[in-house]
Each structure stands twice: as C-alpha cells, then as structure tokens.
Amino acid sequence: MILLRRGQMEMIGLVVIVLLVTIAFLFLVQFALNDRSDPHFFARKQLATSTLMALSITTTSDCVSGDGPQIVSVNELLKDCAVNREGGFGYNCKGKYSCAYLREELIPTLMAGSLDTFRQRYELRSILIQDPDPPLLRQVGNDGCAARTNVDTSGEFPLDTGAGLVMSTLLICD
Amino acid sequence: MTETIAVMFIFFVLLFFGMIFYYRYVDASIEGKMDENAQRRAIEIATRFIFLPEVQCSGSKTYCIDLLKLEAFQKVIADDQHVDDYYYNLFAFAKITVQEVYPNTQQSWVVYDKPKQKFTSQKSTYFSVALHDPRTQEYRFGYVKMEVYS
C-alpha cells in the first residue's frame, strides 16, 4: 500500500514537471512570435532625412526670371510655386512654371537617380498649410507607402513663403 | 513502472522539441542581430564620413559635401600612407563612393576603398547629399554609398 502511494506521488511529481516544461515552452513560442524588431528603421529614417535635406538645397540652372538666367534652389522654386500656383509670374524653367517644373522634371529626375535606384518605396509631399488641397508637390515611388507597416518619415520640413507656410515630408518604407 | 516510463518518455520528447525550437530561434535571432549590427556600423561610418570636417560644407548646411574639399581629400588619402592608416581607424574595412545624380549623372568619386580579403558579409547603405561646388555656387544632388565588410 505504502509502495503504491509512493509510486503515485512520483507520478504526480513527473506530471507537474511535464506541465511546467509545457508552459515554459508555450511562453517561449509566444515571445518568439511577438519579437518583430525592425533592424532597418534607422537606415530608412536617415535616408528620408538626408534626402529631403539635400533635395531642398539642390540648385538648378534651368530657370530664368525677369533678371535673366538664375541658379535657383528647390526651396526657392517651392516658394515661387506656393506664391504663383498657376504660373505666369516668377521663374520660368524650360518653358514651365515652378510647380510644373518641380512636379514633372526636377523632382522625378532627382528621385530616379537616388531612391528609385535603391528600389525604395517613398512618398514625397509638400503642402501649403493654409490651402493643403491639392498638394503643391506629390511624388510617389515604387507604389508608395500606403498600407505598409515599416514606414519612417523625415519629419516635417517647414518653409516660410509669401503665401504662408509650406510643409514638406518624405516617407520611406519597406 | 510503465506509467513512469510513459511520463518520462513524454517529458523527454517535449524537452527535445523544446530544445530544437529554442536552438532555431536563437540561431535566427543571432543572425538577425549580426545583420542589424552590420547595418548600424554602415550607418555609423557613413554618418562619420558625411560630418567629417575634411569634406563637409562650410556653414550650417548638413548632408552637404564640398566638392573642392572632397577632391583634395581623395588625393591626400591616395598619396599618403600615414593618412590612409589614420582613416582606417575611422572607417575600417569599407568602400565609400560619392555619386552625383543631378545635373551630371556620370560623375562619381571613390573616396576610400579598403576591402576585406575574406569577408563574410557586405552591407551597403545610402545617404543622399548635396554636393556644393564653390567655383560655381551650385548645389548638385547626389548620394553617398557606403559598403561595409565584416
């Protein structure tokens, strides 16, 4: 009788150990599945910030104003675009006014040589705060960042123009 | 006795599967960490290069490289072994290429090139930069490609 009871006690002990191991195993599985760290976030963030910063000071010699040919920066063209949305005044770049030149020529060229070459999904957007629709500039590359989870932003780059504040943002995602 | 053996059997089976799972998880997470560290090192070295006073634009512009400084820097590194050793301490086994995108797409500068003979991995990271030409007061657009070997 005593031997039988000791056998039962051993059995209960073993069952408890099996249960503990199973619970520990389940916890491990849960932690492993929840670990979704993204090692590329810093690279995306840096690329977004550096691209928007470099892009804003890049100059072009394609433009003329009332004073003749000028070397103007993207920021200056963006200011002109905010003030003269429909053109007619300000800069004329290869027969286009500032907004059209930025949208159709300069920004696509810069992006094609950089973010498109790195096969990076991105969305560049510049809006006039007082009148955000439609945006002054919107460039989407490699299907953009809609419905993506790993999205990083350059942050907002403000630019004071005669028409109000222009905010530019570049999103980069995987 | 039979029950004890059965419970012990189940215990060891569970322990076995648990160990296999744990080993695979640890293996994958070590690979992930190594990848992350290599990526971080590439970013760190690229940042170190971009903010190097020897090539950075004068004034407060960030992510901007002075082309005159860059050309001088490239020449000094290539000509002087001691200088090359000094920059090895900063960049280690890496290749730094500055590529112009606009207006001249063909222009590029290999500033530093020290490949590792037997490397296990190579990580590339990119930073966009403005390339300032003080002769014409133009700011061109380009990028820095940083390849890091480990």
Q: At residue A4, does pLDDT exceed 80?
A: no
Q: What share of chain A has pLDDT > 70, as a percent?
A: 93
**Residue A114's pLDDT band (boundaries 50, 70, 90)?**
very high
ipTM of the complex: 0.80
Q: What is the 3-state secondary structure (H, E, C) of chain B?
A: CHHHHHHHHHHHHHHHHHHHHHHHHHHHHHHHHHHHHHHHHHHHHHHHHHCCCCCECCCCCCCEEEHHHHHHHHHHHHHCHHHHHHHHHHHCCEEEEEEEEECCCCCEEEEEECCCCCCCCEEEEEEEEEEEECCCCEEEEEEEEEEEEC
Contact A117, A138 (CB under 8 A): no
User: Is A49 in a helix, a strand, or coil?
Assistant: helix
Give the β-pairing of B64-66 and B122-133.
parallel
pLDDT range class, residue A163, cuts 50, 70, 90: confident
Distance CA B45, CA B36 (A): 14
A59 has a pLDDT exceeding 70: yes
**Confidence at A89, pLDDT banded by 50, 70, 90:** confident
Give the chain B residue whose CA is nearest to the CA of A70.
B138
Q: Does A9 touch chain B (CB under 8 A)?
A: no
Q: Is the CB of B23 inside 8 Å of chain A's CB atoms? A: no
Yes or no, beta carbons of B130 and A21 under 8 Å apart: no
Tens digit of pLDDT at every position of chain B (150 positions) = 777 788 778 878 888 888 888 888 888 888 878 888 888 888 889 889 999 999 999 887 889 999 999 999 999 888 887 888 889 999 989 999 999 999 988 899 999 998 888 888 888 889 999 999 999 999 999 999 999 887
A18-41: pLDDT as tens digits: 788 788 878 777 776 666 566 677
Q: How many CB pairs under 8 A join A and B?
A: 112
Residue B104 is part of which domain span? Answer: 2-149
CA distance A125 to chain B (A): 17
Q: Which amino acid is at B38?
A: A
Task: State residue A35's pLDDT score.
Answer: 61
| Contact status of A16 with chain B (Cβ, < 8 Å) | no
Measured between CB atoms, which of B3, B17, B127 is closest to A46? B127
Q: What's the number of domains chain B is made of?
A: 1
State the average pLDDT for chain A: 86
Contact call for B129 and A42, based on CB within 8 A: no
Domain boundaries, chain A: 41-173
